[in-house]
A and B are shown apart, each in its own frame.
Chain A
Amino acid sequence: MLGSMTAAIEIDHLEVIRGGRTILEELSLEVEAGSVTGLLGPSGSGKTTLMRAIVGVQIVKSGGVTVLGLPAGSPPLRARVGYVTQAPSVYLDLTVRENLAYFAQVLGAHSKRIDQALKIVGLSEFDRRVVRTLSGGELSRASLATALLGEPELLVLDEPTVGLDPLLRRDLWQTFRALAADGTTLLVSSHVMEEAERCDRLLLMRDGELLADETPSSLRERTGCERLDDAFLALVETR
């Protein structure tokens, strides 16, 4: 993290209302390019809404969201930003490979990317399986593989490790680190605090507000807590 920070995501006084409720209010933050940023907070804190706004699929009331230098959701970004929703969004009645082949065509990705993406998520052996027959963890990895096809510059991942065993979770985090080392920016939401440890920077949210925007070590220092779990609780309670 040398030199001046180049922001992959810039959010300026963002306000989002969903179903008559204000979900995000006056939210401003920046996410550094080539980093892994953890978006943490209890469910209902606005993590998914924030991610949807960054990807450009969320109707926002006011404020600016700039992604890779362009307004979020603008057409050139559709090939440069990968988004994986919390619920796996793949075709259940197609095989893993058929799903990836279709999305590769839509993204204009080379077909050799299919095998690479399968390898990254550890599904190479499962490519001929119909998605409906996969386990929960395999299903979410199939959905993740789809987002890797286009070699996006920004990957927005909503709870990608839910339902995965510790081994797979570790492998996936290694993958995320490797992608970041190659220059990909990752924004990963989670409500598992141990995953916060693996991030360069943390965004802690509660009730649509940003409680912290700092590195894991500075969060520890500021709160005097060794465990990030405790640090988060300390922040929530002293508010």
Chain B
Amino acid sequence: MSRRITLATALRVLRQLRRDPRTLALVFLVPPMLITLFRYVFNGQSTTFDRVGGPMVGIFPFSTMFVVTSIAMLRERTTGTLERLMSMPLAKLDLLLGYGIAFAAVATAQASITSAVAFGLLGLDVQGAVWVVVLLAVANAVLGMSLGLFVSAFARSEFQAVQFMPAVVFPQILLCGLIVPRDRMEHVLHVVSYALPLTWAYDALAHAVRGGSNGIVVRDALIVVGLTAAALTLAATTLRRRTG
């Protein structure tokens, strides 16, 4: 792989995003909007807002980057640019890391804006350090992106790619512990939840927000990094130099 090509790819992906200000506006404004909505839906139940709001700051980037990347990669496949790149001296890792760097940058901005609104304006109360929440949000974004790159190989159209959001992301949100603590779930669901990437992402966030054990936060974060590497490896297998 080459640093030159990786960075050029990251720059190219960011340029494409810049040409689409509406998508950028949605990426940056929808999470703070939703978290504000959440705050007023739970008006008078500030403990619920404090429990769920913090982790939500870190979960938005996961779902946003999942859907944005799966469509971006699908476009690379359908417009033939992926085939062109695969016939050029570009390593698969250059492409994957290029995407990773670009979307991590976007996620950093997204998580910072959402945090500023949640912790600054809405008075979301967290015991832990805010920067840890932002850092975990970026890690989750890269995780979501990696899963998005992988599943894009199974979509033939943008309609299908969008449907992967409810199919892949929603079950993970239901089972990760955000809605119902995992130890109160049915046994089978509890067992399944261990296998889902978002479970570990949420667990890290929940501990970080509560100011809980640093050891657990680090362990969960490492699991998230490992799962990201696994998803990227799977994504790499879907990038074919030769096709039928």
Measuring CB to CB, which residues of chain A are less than 8 angstroms from any residue of chain B?
18-19, 55-59, 73, 75, 78-79, 81, 83, 85, 87-94, 98, 102-103, 105-108, 130, 146
Contact = CB atoms under 8 A, between A and B. Distances in A.
Contacts of A92: 79
B24 interface: no
Contacts of B11: 102
B242 A73 contact: yes
B243 interface: yes
Contacts of A98: 12, 15
B238 to A, nearest CB: 15
27 contacts: A18-B244, A56-B87, A57-B86, A57-B241, A58-B243, A58-B244, A59-B242, A59-B243, A78-B88, A85-B83, A88-B80, A89-B79, A89-B83, A89-B84, A90-B79, A91-B12, A91-B16, A91-B79, A93-B20, A94-B12, A94-B15, A94-B19, A98-B15, A102-B8, A106-B88, A106-B90, A108-B89
B213 interface: no
A20 to B, nearest CB: 10
Given A57-B87, A102-B9, 4 more contacts: A56-B87, A59-B243, A78-B90, A103-B84
Contacts of B85: 106
Contacts of A94: 12, 15-16, 19
B196 interface: no
A108 B4 CA distance: 9
B5 A105 contact: yes
B47 interface: no
A59 B19 CA distance: 36
B88 A57 contact: no
Contacts of B79: 87, 89-92
Q: Which 6 A-B pairs have the closest CB atoms?
A: A89-B80, A105-B8, A78-B89, A93-B19, A102-B12, A89-B84
Nearest to B94: A106
Contact of B81 (A56, A73, A90): A90
Contacts of B80: 85, 87-89
Contacts of B86: 57
Contacts of B87: 55-57, 78, 81, 83
Interface string B63-84: 0000000000000000111011
Nearest to A147: B84
Given A98-B12, A105-B4, A106-B8, A57 B89 contact: no
A57 B241 CA distance: 6
Contacts of B4: 105, 108
A122 to B, nearest CB: 21
Contacts of B89: 75, 78-79, 106-108
Nearest to B90: A106
A183 B70 CA distance: 42
Chain B CB within 10 A, most for which of A81, A105, A108 = A105
Contacts of B242: 56-59, 73
